[in-house]
Amino acid sequence: MSRAQLKVEGMSCNHCKASVESSLMRLSGVTRAEVSLANGSVEVDYEEGKVTLATIMDTIRDAGYEVVE
């Protein structure tokens, strides 16, 4: 199990939080996704053999938010 904390721009409300978390939880291999609006971050627990960090980042972008690398 791996954990990543990503800085994400553009999230400002509970709808943003729910959108990002639900998009990530639909990915096979993601076991937890938690958005912190106050910190502008997303913490994700995932299984490396099932999903890549690149896929997680792409999913956040597809939901309409910018991952800050």
User: Which domains, ranges and CATH numbers included, belong to the chain?
Assistant: 2-68 (3.30.70.100)
**Alpha-carbon span 46 to 3, nearest angstrom:** 6
**Alpha-carbon span 53 to 4, nearest angstrom:** 8
Within 8 A by CB and 6+ apart from 19, the residues are 63, 64
Tokens of 39: 């910190």
**Alpha-carbon span 52 to 69, nearest angstrom:** 16
Question: For each successive 10 residues of the chain (69 residues), what is the average pLDDT?
Answer: 96 95 97 97 97 97 93
Helices 53-62 and 14-25 cross at an angle (nearest 10°) of: 140
The whole-number pLDDT of residue 47 equals: 97
